[in-house]
Structure formats: structure tokens, C-alpha cells
């Protein structure tokens, strides 16, 4: 089997670094105004640090793809024209685009950067792939709605272009994201295809008959209403052998707005699964599916991959992803310990969810995964604490320490919230 790229989301510089350290060969990132997952608060990738983000990926040995995949109006084109020098200076490994006008602008002004065609174009057949190839694209990101058998046929018909497919993460109820629900519900203020979706497909709905206002009818027996539009999350880790055999070059994970823990844990699971499949195509991948249940999800589905997408692919009871394990803390290995350790090894950590002395936990790093016991927690002054509360900066001693603590993360043991 051929080498295959693991492509992870990079919502900010820190997530980019962790994604690569945990196994990504490449990352994709976007900026406000040009991206469909453009966060508008917190630590962002912006036009000002875009080059820094691309350079960081390159320094870590990974590729960086920049998304310019909004559905562009005239004002967007004018803004892009004014930003072309910044994009050119960033020098990414590719631009991900969906709009013909943006394609023309990039080809004319930054002709040396490869073009990847976004899943937003709903590319479903080999003639469409040939069309994009003939326009100069080096890669097509196929629609999520394709079965693996169709992907294999596209590869046979068009062997001279790279193919990318989504393998994990949230799905849209609309065809590859072409949705206007958010536009309507927000009266045009939150446009889904300008990176600002309110996700009305995740809302809970009840039915009301027009002549009987105030009489709400249950669509099913769930007293919270029904999430009739909310798809489960995609998880194709067990289908990796078929995808690789079909000729997919890049396996993509959704989630630029997801947490640092999500990006790291998902990258680790897929990295290990891909490496195992490349050595042994008949490997049992169930253990990686279990690992992926430890991150936030709305229940998992294979979507359209096997050609049998049906009502079981929808999450009727929940809309928010529930993690099978709680993310407890991240190590801040570069931060000094302010008190004398007396031969004991304490690690500075940022608490993400409450953690007690005596808790049995799981520690993961890019190269390790093991269980340990929280032996001691101290504050800045070296005073003993019974627990660390959310957002506390504390110092923790574990029964077993990671060999390389810089990127270490701690979570609860086992899997809960299986749905």
C-alpha cells in the first residue's frame, strides 16, 4: 500500500503544534473572512500570524494548507485582492478553494502554489475530477456523500490527481455543507458559508400545526423535542484499509473549532491506525475505534462510505458532542517549579476538569500511553492541595512520569457516554 497523508485541523498555533507532534503529516488552517470555520474569539490564526503558522508547520516537518473556501460575493473578492500579498508571503503548500473567482485570482497572482478543490464543490464523479484537474488543481477533496466504491472508480478513471477524503468529525445535514438554515434563522447575520454557522441542525425541534398555535406536537417520544436534522459524527477508522486500497492520498479530520485534547487524541489514534494498516492491511482496528470514543462525539456513523447511509446515521437525542473520557489537564513542561522538590518529580499543569489526589488517570503523549495515580497536588507555594479545580495552575506528582512531558495530556480512564 502507498503512503497516505493524515491531515489534521489547526484552529490556532498551539493546536497546530500538537496536531503535528501527535502524528499529522499536514494541517489545514483558515483566517476570518475567508474560511468556513473561522473562530472569532480566543487564540486565532489571522492574516498577521498566517505566515508564522505556515512556518511553524514547516519547521515541524509538516505541510500547511490554507483554506480560502467561502462562497464569495463581490466584496469578498475585493477583500481577497487586497490580501493577496499576505497569502503569497505566507507561502503555504496549497490553497483550498471552492469558488471559481477565487480560483482565477489565485492562479493569476500566486501561480506557484498548488490548488486543492474544497469539498464545498460537491465533487462526486470522475468527470468533475477531470474538470478540476484540467483547470490546474493538484488535489480534489471529494464530497462526504461518496461511497468508497465510487472513490475507487474515480481513482481508476483519474490516476493523475491527488484525492482527499474526510474520515472523522462532525457532518453537515446539507450536501457537503451547502446550507442556508443558519442564514434564515439569523436573518442573514450568521452565514454558514462565510464561516459563521449557528448550527440550527443541532437544535431541538417540536412540531406545531398552523391553526393550533401553542399546541406543540412531539415528533418522537423524547420530551426534549427531536434533533431530526443532526447527523452523528463520521468515524472511518475501521474502514482505513478500504480507503487506502481505493487510492485515497489524504485522510482528513474535521475540527478546527475542537479542543487541543480532541486534536491530539484523534491524531494519535489515526496515526497509529494508519501505520498499522500500512504494515498489515487486515489488522484489527477496533482498539482505535475505542480510543476515538474517548473524545467528544454525537455517536459515530460510517456515513455514506459503505453505500448504506440511513436513519441510524442521525443523532435524535443529543446535539452536543459528549466525550467518553474527561480531559483533566495538560502539562506545561517549560514552566519552572517554584518550590524545592526534594527528589520528587512535580509537573506544572493546567487543570481542565477537576482532578483529585488519589485519582487513577491515563496519560498520553505522542509516544506513550499509560495509567498512573495522582500522588500529590501542590500550589505555587508548595502547599498540599486535595484537588485541582478547573483552570487552576498547579503542580502534580504522578506514580509514573512521561518520558517526554512537553506535550503530555491527562484524561480519565475508560469510556463513558457511548451513544
* 288-298 per-position pLDDT tens digit: 999 999 999 98
| pTM, to two decimals | 0.88
Confidence of residue 199 (pLDDT cuts 50, 70, 90): confident
* Judgement on whether residues 61 and 96 belong to the same structural domain of the protein: yes
* Residue 264 is assigned to a structural domain of this protein: yes
In the block, cell 482505535 appears at: 288
Q: What angle do CA 313, 201, 43 make, to 5 degrees?
A: 105
* Residue 74 is assigned to a structural domain of this protein: yes
* Judgement on whether residues 144 and 283 belong to the same structural domain of the protein: yes
Cα separation, 392 vs 92, whole angstroms: 37
> Where does a domain end: 265, 283, 313?
313
* Residue 198 is assigned to a structural domain of this protein: no
Q: Is 225's pLDDT higher than 50? A: no
Q: Is 224's pLDDT higher than 50? A: no
Cα separation, 144 vs 337, whole angstroms: 48
Confidence of residue 182 (pLDDT cuts 50, 70, 90): low
Q: Is 87's pLDDT higher than 80? A: yes
> Where does a domain end: 249, 282, 313?
313
* Residue 302 is assigned to a structural domain of this protein: yes
Which parts of 338-406 fold into alpha helices (H)? none
Helix, strand, coil % over all residues of the chain, rounded to 5: 30, 20, 50
Contact present, 362 and 410 (Cβ < 8 Å): yes
Q: How many CB atoms lie within 10 A of CB 333?
A: 14
* Judgement on whether residues 387 and 255 belong to the same structural domain of the protein: no
Instruction: Give the model's pLDDT for residue 221.
Output: 42
* Judgement on whether residues 90 and 136 belong to the same structural domain of the protein: yes
Instruction: Give the model's pLDDT for residue 419.
Output: 60
Residue 282 bridge partners (DSSP):
none
* Judgement on whether residues 260 and 351 belong to the same structural domain of the protein: no
Pick the more confident residue, 143 or 218. Answer: 143
**Torsion of Cα atoms, 358 then 359 then 361 then 363, to 10°:** -50
Residues comprising the chain, all counted: 419
DSSP letter (8 states) at residue 226: B
Instruction: Give the model's pLDDT for residue 222.
Output: 46
Instruction: Give the model's pLDDT for residue 176.
Output: 62
Contact present, 343 and 185 (Cβ < 8 Å): no
* Residue 289 is assigned to a structural domain of this protein: yes
* Judgement on whether residues 337 and 302 belong to the same structural domain of the protein: no
Cα separation, 49 vs 52, whole angstroms: 5
Contact present, 147 and 153 (Cβ < 8 Å): no
Q: Is 201's pLDDT higher than 90? A: no
* Residue 242 is assigned to a structural domain of this protein: yes
* CATH code of the domain in which 149 resides: 3.20.20.70
Q: Residues 156-184, buried b or exposed e (16+ Cβ, 10 A)? A: eebeebbbbbbbbbbbbbeebbebebbbe
**Cα-flanking dihedrals φ and ψ of residue 174, to 5°?**
-85, 165
* Residue 62 is assigned to a structural domain of this protein: yes
* Residue 196 is assigned to a structural domain of this protein: no
Instruction: Give the model's pLDDT for residue 230.
Output: 73
Where is average pLDDT lowest: 196-205, 301-310, 342-351, 357-366? 196-205
Cα separation, 339 vs 347, whole angstroms: 11
Average pLDDT over residues 363-378: 98
* Judgement on whether residues 30 and 95 belong to the same structural domain of the protein: yes
* Judgement on whether residues 384 and 245 belong to the same structural domain of the protein: no
Q: Is 180's pLDDT higher than 70? A: no
Domain count, the chain: 2
Percent of the chain with pLDDT over 70: 84
Residue 165 bridge partners (DSSP):
251
Summarised one tens digit per residue, pLDDT across range 49-63 is 999 999 999 999 999
Contact present, 408 and 264 (Cβ < 8 Å): no
The widest CA-to-CA distance across the chain, in whole angstroms, is 76
Where is average pLDDT lowest: 51-65, 231-245, 317-331, 365-379? 317-331
* Judgement on whether residues 246 and 385 belong to the same structural domain of the protein: no
Give the distance from CA 320 to its chain's centroid. 15
Closest by CA position to 24, among listed 319, 250, 310, 214: 250
Half-sphere exposure of residue 14, counting CA atoms within 13 Å on the CB side? 13
* Judgement on whether residues 294 and 349 belong to the same structural domain of the protein: no
> Where does a domain end: 278, 313, 348?
313
The whole-chain average pLDDT of the chain stands at: 89
DSSP of 105-120, one letter per residue?
A: HHHHH-TTS-EEE-GG
Confidence of residue 6 (pLDDT cuts 50, 70, 90): very high
Q: How many CB atoms lie within 10 A of CB 108?
A: 9
Q: Which three cell numbers stand for residue 3?
A: 503512503
Instruction: Give the model's pLDDT for residue 42.
Output: 52
* CATH code of the domain in which 406 resides: 2.40.30.10
Residue 235 burial (C-beta neighbours within 10 Å; 0-12, 13-18, 19+): buried
* Judgement on whether residues 301 and 341 belong to the same structural domain of the protein: no
Summarised one tens digit per residue, pLDDT across range 380-410 is 999 999 999 999 999 999 999 999 999 999 9
Half-sphere exposure of residue 121, counting CA atoms within 13 Å on the CB side? 24
Q: Is 39's pLDDT higher than 60? A: no
Cα separation, 197 vs 182, whole angstroms: 6
The residue range of the domain holding 166 is: 5-177+230-313
* Judgement on whether residues 234 and 365 belong to the same structural domain of the protein: no
Amino acid at each position: 500500500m502507498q503512503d497516505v497523508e493524515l491531515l489534521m485541523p489547526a484552529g490556532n498555533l498551539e493546536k497546530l503544534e500538537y496536531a503535528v507532534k501527535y502524528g499529522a503529516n499536514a494541517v489545514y488552517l483558515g483566517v476570518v473572512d475567508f474560511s468556513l470555520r473561522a473562530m472569532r474569539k480566543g487564540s486565532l490564526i489571522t492574516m498577521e500570524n498566517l505566515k508564522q503558522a505556515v512556518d511553524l508547520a514547516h519547521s515541524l516537518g509538516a505541510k500547511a494548507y490554507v483554506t480560502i473556501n467561502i462562497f464569495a460575493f463581490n466584496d469578498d473578492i475585493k477583500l481577497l485582492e487586497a490580501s493577496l500579498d499576505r497569502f503569497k508571503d505566507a507561502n503555504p503548500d496549497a490553497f483550498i478553494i471552492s469558488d471559481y473567482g477565487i480560483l482565477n485570482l489565485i492562479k493569476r497572482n500566486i501561480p506557484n502554489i498548488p490548488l486543492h478543490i474544497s469539498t464545498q464543490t460537491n465533487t462526486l464523479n470522475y468527470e468533475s475530477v477531470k474538470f478540476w484537474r484540467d483547470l490546474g488543481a493538484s488535489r480534489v477533496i471529494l464530497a462526504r456523500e461518496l461511497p468508497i466504491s465510487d472513490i475507487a472508480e474515480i481513482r481508476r478513471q483519474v490516476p493523475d490527481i491527488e484525492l482527499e477524503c474526510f474520515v472523522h468529525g462532525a457532518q453537515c445535514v446539507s450536501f457537503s455543507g451547502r446550507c442556508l438554515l443558519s442564514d434564515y434563522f439569523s436573518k442573514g447575520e450568521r452565514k454558514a458559508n462565510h464561516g459563521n454557522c449557528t448550527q440550527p441542525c443541532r437544535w431541538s425541534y417540536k412540531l406545531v400545526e398552523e391553526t393550533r398555535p401553542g399546541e406543540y406536537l412531539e415528533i418522537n417520544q423524547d420530551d426534549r423535542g427531536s434533533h431530526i436534522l443532526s447527523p452523528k459524527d463520521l468515524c472511518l477508522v475501521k474502514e482505513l484499509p478500504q480507503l487506502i486500497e481505493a487510492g485515497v492520498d489524504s485522510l482528513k479530520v474535521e475540527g478546527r473549532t475542537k479542543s487541543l485534547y480532541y486534536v491530539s487524541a484523534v491524531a494519535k489514534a489515526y496515526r497509529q491506525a494508519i501505520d498499522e494498516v500500512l504494515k498489515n492491511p487486515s489488522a484489527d482496528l477496533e482498539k482505535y475505534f475505542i480510543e476515538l470514543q474517548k473524545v467528544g462525539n454525537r455517536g459515530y456513523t460510517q456515513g455514506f462510505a459503505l453505500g448504506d447511509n440511513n436513519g441510524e446515521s442521525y443523532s435524535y437525542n443529543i446535539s452536543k458532542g459528549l466525550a467518553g473520557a474527561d480531559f483533566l489537564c495538560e502539562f506545561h513542561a517549560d514552566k519552572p517549579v517554584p518550590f524545592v522538590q526534594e527528589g520528587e518529580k512535580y509537573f506544572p499543569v493546567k487543570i481542565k476538569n477537576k482532578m483529585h489526589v488519589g485519582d487513577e488517570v491515563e496519560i498520553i503523549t505522542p509516544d506513550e500511553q499509560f495509567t498512573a495515580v495522582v500522588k500529590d497536588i501542590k500550589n505555587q507555594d508548595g502547599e498540599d492541595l486535595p484537588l485541582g479545580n478547573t483552570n487552576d495552575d498547579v503542580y502534580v506528582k504522578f506514580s509514573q512520569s512521561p518520558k517526554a512531558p512537553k506535550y503530555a495530556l491527562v484524561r480519565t480512564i475508560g469510556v463513558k457516554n457511548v451513544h
